[in-house]
A and B are shown apart, each in its own frame.
Chain A
Amino acid sequence: MSGIVDKFGKAVYSLLQKDPEKARCLLSLGFRAKRLEYMYFPGKMNKASRMAASCTSRSMIDALTHPGDSAIVSLFTPSEILHSVGITPYSCEGLGCFLSGAFLERPFLEYAEREGISDTFCSYHKTFIGAAEEKLLPKPLFIISTSLACDANALTFRRLSNHFDVPHFVIDVPYEISEDSVSFVESEMRMMKKFVEENTKRKVDDELLSQILARSQRSMDYYERYLTLSKGKSIMRDLNDGMFACFMLHNLLGTRESEEYARKCVDVAEKASPSSAVNLLWIHSTPFWMENVRAITDFNENVAVVGCDMAYEGLLKADCSNPYRAMAERLVYSAFNGPVMRRIERGINEARRLGADGAVWFCHWGCKHTLGGATLAKRKFEEAGIPLLILPGDGCDRRHGGYGQVETRLGAFVEMLSERRGS
């Protein structure tokens, strides 16, 4: 199967050199075919995962086929305002995963590096820049990004705003965790509303926005419940689950599909039978392209990735009567904001809630936030009695290699946890 997809990726890139419009059509056709596979031939995927995969695919197809109703956003940008006026948001992490899934990341990474962007820069962002500047991506309506968690946002989105010649709005999130910071971001969210109104010529209805925020809250509540219920349960999952959950609970949060997805997660957990698998908590994105890693983690009765911090980092209880403040709270109180100890402590708490035997701190090449916190995380997790594996790799770039290394480390870690459990 990977051979066919590889050929497809090469065909899209080859067509891109001659006719970007046709290349885009071919790529969206490929995404549609993948979506049909998720819907009708899902293999062992559970029904919530299927829905997440299908909805995320659709948002990527919409971004390619309806660029006038699409906006490029950073992953953590609250997108409810966009949903309220019918704009589809898509992130570079989301599209980067899909391009990598189509074996298309390599030429775009090479393009970005030829242009002088460093080889230590995040591969999701480099793939996205390459795809945009090589004209695979259509011109969006505008760009909105946050400064939360990732230095790359400031660089990628500023560059793409110049490239596409479209407006760019920045939500600057203070590092300090306080109500003052929430007020600061709240005022930015109100400015974002004006920015969206000006650039879409559509009015943002505050009442509708409150309803959408209420839906976001219900989705987060359902997902919280799912996390609690899933402890010790045998749920058919793969390495993609965490990333799909992340997309459903960020850029798609506030949609009906997001709520339905989270509700289905609860349903799946309620009906699941007990499990005796070794459970792993995954920190950061997942190297879904490494088939040998997936041979360990996917639909395996003996090993399960039970949670991913990209999905749960922003879950909280907010007052939806003030939608702007509710969105601001999600950013300021995100586990990724402020000192890394917040992310570590949240991870330890989630590991306990999910019954994780150990945690994998995946050092996605280029993510300085994750790399910088790795050594401290290892110490703190282990002080809390939870073994932690620091696993260097890349979530998107096949050139990073290290198949054997990653497999050996993860395999040995699982063996160690199995033994620990048995003793």
Chain B
Amino acid sequence: MNEIHYICKYTPVELIYALGGNPVPLNSMLPSFPLSDQVVEPNICGYGKSIVEECLSGRVKRLVLVNCCDSIKSVYDVLSEWNGLDFLFMFDLMHTTSECSKKKMESELKRFLKSWSEYGNAQFDKARFFSAFNHEEGVDGEYIALSGGRVGDELERLARESLSLPVRNLTCVSSRFLPPPDENIPEENLLSWYASSLLAQMPCMRMDDVLARRHIFEDERVKGIVYHTVKFCDFYNFEYSTLKNNTDLPLLKIETDFTTQSLGQLETRLDAFDETLSKVRKKDERRVGNMRAKGYYAGIDSGSTSTDVVVIDQDGRIVASKIIPTGSGSAKSAGKALSEALSAIGISLDEIVATVSTGYGRDRITHFDKSITEITCHAKGAFFLDPEVRTIIDIGGQDSKVILLGDDGEVVNFVMNDKCAAGTGRFLDFMARTLELTLPEMSAIGLDWKEDITISSMCTVFAESEVVSLVAENKAVPDIVHGLDVAVATKTLSLVRRIGGREKYMMTGGVARNEGVVRELGRLLGSSIEVSDKAQLVGAFGAALFAKEL
């Protein structure tokens, strides 16, 4: 009854409650936005689209907005025009917290009071107002700070499930805290006090003065930061840009489009982040591993394009390997790849002591002993092959990732591309098809370039049209391919720079076989890049090494 949804921490939640409303934060991630896409252009933030979707679908009847950003203002425009809600209100929140801004907030509170009272025929209940103030969320001991842009309920739940330490959501509405008023405050001063109190909260990045936000990261109990940004919301990338250079805490940067579609990929990252935080467990694993009997160990990397199997003996030597297309089922392909690898060297499945799966399909291969993320497995495999490696650049079919290793081969930091094929193997695959080349041909032909052509677009679709235009202009194919190599290398370079990649570099994944890309990336890095002959098998190899330690 009288449920009223709100989106922002600056919303006067206590006032709504005092007026008989039931304020509910609107914070769910949706799978897609079919209704919203009919009335809003696609390139605004997913959260804005989720609000429109919730309203148009009838799940939200009453809504209080704050003019947080241009996207939310657009949401207000669209919903005002639609005129299908029972109640819609938008607060005009200033960016500064000056005395003038406080007065403005007070007048906005009065405007809301009038508007809601007219709608619901409600009266202000002082006792209800005082009872609406909650005490701050208590936190005992160490925790992981979930910070940055708004984190939806589903992502928060995933973070809590994936991370071993307690998680504290410090984003947006989830970090709302107002101290209760003095009980003796005169009623005529109550709104003025309330306006100041609302503005005195921990500021979001939309506000002018954000200095107080440093307290989020200075709390000694914070043992790691999961920093989230929402695609098409630019505010928090600015904080991340500074934070990444100024914190010693383990930091995981993730981005979503505020749909549930990318939660699978995020689970991999969160699991890997948790693995980097869990060093104690790693030592225990080693100890147990040494007590194992003789035999063989299998690692399987179930990727989006290929399924790779490596079988090693007790000394860590590769005795068999197999790469097959993943096809339609991860588990089926895994079984097939393993049995083909084993039959090639005449070993039976019984002789395999332990198995570890990795890659996107790792959790669907249920008959393996353990699943570990490909980030940790890549680190393991690459460091075993060359202990001098400190930066692994892995470009696979749909992912680009850069993994930074410590001196003991542990994962210190990592970064992945976000839900975009730009700079991945699929981008090159797409372009090869456009140029009617096979991937091996593409790898070689780009080395023989003469004219330095710049491929401007990183969007796969636009780049294809650019390539078609260049072909129409009779540009030489080697020159176009070289331009594509440079484009991929440049995109990868930004990932390397983002986490402070350092020598020695090793490249893994399918794109490591593209000599043109490797050469251009080496040039941009000003360093040579090691490409192992096992470049595509490093993930599976790392998994096999982990199997040996089980």
Contact = CB atoms under 8 A, between A and B. Distances in A.
Interface in A364-394: 365-369, 371-376, 390, 392
Interface residues of A, number: 53
A401 B457 contact: yes
A366 to B, nearest CB: 8
Given A152-B234, A372-B74, 11 more contacts: A117-B234, A118-B234, A155-B205, A175-B67, A340-B74, A368-B45, A372-B70, A372-B77, A399-B457, A399-B458, A401-B459
Contacts of A150: 70
The A contact surface, by secondary structure, is: helix
A339 interface: yes
A130 to B, nearest CB: 12
A404 interface: yes
29 contacts: A114-B493, A116-B498, A117-B238, A118-B237, A120-B232, A151-B69, A151-B206, A151-B235, A155-B238, A158-B208, A170-B96, A339-B77, A363-B43, A365-B43, A366-B234, A367-B70, A368-B44, A368-B70, A369-B73, A371-B43, A372-B74, A375-B39, A398-B456, A399-B458, A400-B457, A402-B457, A402-B465, A403-B469, A404-B469
Nearest to A365: B43
B237 to A, nearest CB: 4
B61 interface: no
A165 interface: no
A147 interface: yes
Contacts of A372: 40-41, 44, 48, 70-71, 73-75, 77-78
A300 interface: no
Interface string B320-337: 000000000000000000
B74 A110 contact: no
Contacts, number: 150
Interface in B291-329: none
Contacts of B48: 372
B462 A392 contact: no
Contacts of A375: 39-41, 78
Interface of A: 106, 110, 113-118, 120-122, 147, 150-152, 154-155, 158-159, 170, 172, 174-176, 180, 184, 187-188, 339-341, 363, 365-369, 371-376, 390, 392, 398-405
Contacts of B229: 118
A104 to B, nearest CB: 13
Contacts of B494: 110, 113-114
Contacts of A121: 234, 237
Contacts of A115: 241
Nearest to A340: B77
Contacts of B74: 340, 368-369, 371-373
Interface of B: 39-41, 43-45, 48, 67, 69-71, 73-78, 80-81, 90, 92, 94-96, 98, 100-101, 104, 107, 205-206, 208, 210, 229, 231-232, 234-235, 237-238, 240-241, 244, 253, 454, 456-459, 462-463, 465-466, 468-469, 490, 493-494, 497-498
A136 to B, nearest CB: 19
Contacts of A369: 70, 73-74
Given A115-B241, A371-B44, A372-B77, A155 B234 contact: yes
Contacts of B107: 180
B100 A187 contact: yes
A175 B462 contact: no
A187 B99 CA distance: 12
A187 B468 CA distance: 57
B78 A376 contact: yes
Nearest to B75: A372
Contacts of B104: 174, 184
Q: Which one of B45, B94, B229, B244 has the greatest number of beta carbons of chain A within 10 Å?
A: B94
A373 B95 contact: no
Given A154-B95, A376-B78, A116 B73 contact: no
A110 to B, nearest CB: 7
B511 to A, nearest CB: 20
A120 B234 contact: yes
Contact of A401 (B81, B101, B462): B462
B71 A368 contact: yes
A394 to B, nearest CB: 10
A373 B101 CA distance: 27
Contact of A151 (B234, B456, B466): B234
Contacts of A376: 39, 77-78, 81
Contacts of A175: 67, 73, 90, 92
Contacts of A340: 73-74, 77
Contacts of B244: 116
